[in-house]
Amino acid sequence: MLERLRERITPTDIVMWMIGGSLLVMIIWGSAATLLAGLYTPRHWLDFVIFGLAQGSVYALIAMGYTMVYGVLRMINFAHSEVFMSGPYTAYYVAAAFYRSGLLESHPVLCLLAIFMVSMFISSMIAFLLEKIAYRPLRNAPRLIPLITAIGASFFLQYVFRGLYGSGFQAYPVVKMLEGHWTFIGIRILRFQAVVIVAAALLLAALYSFIQMTRVGKAIRAVSEDKEAAYLMGIDVDKMISTTFIIGGMAAGAAGAFYGIMFKQVHFFMGFIPGIKAFTAAVLGGIGNIPGAMLGGIFLGLIESVGPSLFLDGLGIVAPYQLKDAIAFTMLVLVLIFRPTGILGERLAVKKA
């Protein structure tokens, strides 16, 4: 038995377990120290969690686009962060117009819906054009080629939008209705965070049921399982790939509008960081796996918001919030060490190998 165990375990396994183990010990120790020291009240933790959920839903929505595109094309759509940026940046002008005309005061719900629609529409159009112009001719190219194309498209889009709208930050107008907070069963929750969480949850549910239940959704899943077989079954593969980009773009546009509501400003470079985070979330959940992307997004949002205070404060680390991204990426590496295909696993792992 012992001999068998020795055969099975290689030195690299031991190193990996050591890395993972020491990180886990640090996390547990840090959390225990923080909690025992009582640095934060339950109210604080609750605020962290709610903020994490709001942030996480934005990540989850963006991650949907990454994961769906990965499913059908097996490529990292690096330019998805610009798809995310394009919507809310364009919608800003709509919002500003509403604000100037006073409509935003008198009909806030209608205006918000319109802003949303514009954001989603622009993002999905950009995604559609992106696929058609930049990716479609490269269907059969080696994997790195579309990746570089995507990086190029990402730069291009960033600077086109910078050229069109300018390089400064644009402040989203404040919606009075979303200021302040509501109280549910004794829990105070900032209004805009509540709206973002609820709306994002609804959208995610809608998207998921669209993919699971409708004919188009089924066709998209068929394409991501096996393009050739799907084609032979009479599915228009090109059209389904376009549809995938449009849906992913809509999700990203919605996420962008939420982002605008939460952080109240837009910028041509705003897509970069959320884009990388969302991609991390998609991988975390198991890329190509739609529920995985949602889960990964929420998980990442929570870790980023709760993690620094929980894990690091107790260890006496200065300014732990600076390290939130490091925590997020450490979590990613940790998950990948123990589950190389993500939390929920890649649906198509077998096929790829």
Partner 1 sequence: MTQMESLWRHGIKTGFIGAVTVVLLALIGMVEAFSQRDIIAGVISMGHALLLVIAIFMGYIAAKRTALSGIGSTLINSVVSGVIIAGSLVLLILLGSWVNLRSIFMNASPALYSLLTFGIEFKNGWTFLLLAGALCGLVAGLLYQSFPTFRRILITSLSSVIIAGVLQDMLRPTLSAWGPISVISDWLFSSNGLSLSGAITLCLVIAVILFIWFQKRDILRTRFSRLPSSGQRTLRMAGYVLLVGIFLVLPQVLGLFLSEVLTIVGLYVLLGLGLNIVVGYAGLLDLGYVAFFAIGAYVTAILTSPELGFFSLTFWQALPFAVILGLLSGVILGVPVLKMRGDYLAIATLGFGEIIRILVLSDFLRPWLGGAQGIGRIPKASIGGYEFATPQQIYYLILAGCAFVIFISLRLKDSRLGRAWKAMREDEDVAQAMGINLVATKLLAFATGAGFSALSGAIFASKLSSVYPHSFNVMISINILCLIIVGGMGSIPGVIVGAVALVGLPELLREFAEYRLLVYGAALVAMMLLRPEGLWPEVLHLRELQDAQSSSADSETPAPSGARI
Partner 2 sequence: MAILSAEKMTKRFGGLLAIQELDIAIIENSIHSIIGPNGAGKTTFFNCVTGFYRPEEGRINFNSHNLVGLTPDRVVRLGIARTYQNIRLFPNLTALENILVGLHSHLKAGFFGIVVGLPSTRHEETEASKEAVRLLNFVRLEGKEDLLAKNLPYGDQRRLEIARALAARPKLLLLDEPTAGMNPRETQEMMDFIQHLRDALGITILLIEHQMRVVMGISETVTVLDYGKKIAEGTPDEIKSNPTVIEAYLGRGSAAEAR
143 is a contact residue toward partner 2 (CB under 8 A): no
Of these partners, partner 2, partner 1, none, which one is at the site of residue 7 (CB under 5 to 8 Å by kind)?
partner 2
Binding mask 272-291 for partner 1 (x = CB under 8 A): ----x--xx--x---x----
- Applying CB under 8 A, does 323 fall inside the site for partner 1? yes
Q: 165 forms bridges with which residues in the sheet?
A: none
Report phi then psi at 185, rounded to 5.
30, 50
Q: CB of 306 within 8 A of CB of 327? A: no
Phi/psi of residue 266, nearest 5 degrees:
-130, 160
Least Å distance, CB 87 to partner 2, is 40
CB 297 within 8 A of CB 66: no
Q: How far is the CB of 126 from partner 1 (least distance, A)?
A: 13
Q: Which is nearer to partner 1, 90 or 193 (CB)?
A: 90
Out of 2, 4, 41, 319, name the contact with partner 2 by CB under 8 A. Answer: 4
Q: Give, as ranges, the residues between 137 and 176 that touch partner 1 (CB under 8 A).
A: 137-138, 140-149, 151-160, 162-166
What would the two tokens of residue 119 be?
A: 């954001």
Closer to partner 1 by Cβ: residue 29 or 93: 93
Q: What character string, x for contact with partner 1 (CB under 8 A) and - otherwise, covers 72-111?
A: ----x----------------x------------------
Q: How far is the CB of 289 from partner 2 (least distance, A)?
A: 19
Please say which residue, 2 or 318, places its beta carbon nearer to partner 1: 318
Cross-strand pairs, 189: 182
* Choice from 8, 143, 215, 352 touching partner 2 (CB under 8 A): 8
Of 4 and 215, which CB lies nearer to partner 2 in the complex structure?
A: 4
Query: For residue 295, how far is the Cα from the chain centroid?
Result: 10
Pairing relationship of beta strands 265-266 and 170-171 according to DSSP bridges: antiparallel
Angle at 20 between CA 15 and CA 21, to 5 degrees: 95
Question: Using CA atoms, how far apart are residues 131 and 341, in angstroms rounded to an integer?
Answer: 26
Alpha-carbon gap, residue 127 to 88, rounded angstroms: 14
Could you give the angle at the alpha carbon of 44 between the alpha carbons of 38 and 47, nearest 5°? 155
Q: How far is the CB of 9 from partner 2 (least distance, A)?
A: 10
Strands (E) located in the chain: 170-171, 181-184, 187-190, 265-266
Which of partner 1, partner 2, none has residue 146 at its interface (CB below 5 to 8 Å by kind)?
partner 1
DSSP-derived secondary structure for 80-114: HHHHHHHHHHHHHHHHHHHHHHTHHHH-HHHHHHH
Interface residues with partner 2 (CB under 8 A) are 4, 7-8
Interface residues with partner 1 (CB under 8 A) are 10, 12, 15-16, 19, 70, 76, 93, 134, 137-138, 140-149, 151-160, 162-166, 276, 279-280, 283, 287, 317-320, 322-323, 325-326, 329-330, 332-333, 336-337, 340-342, 352-353
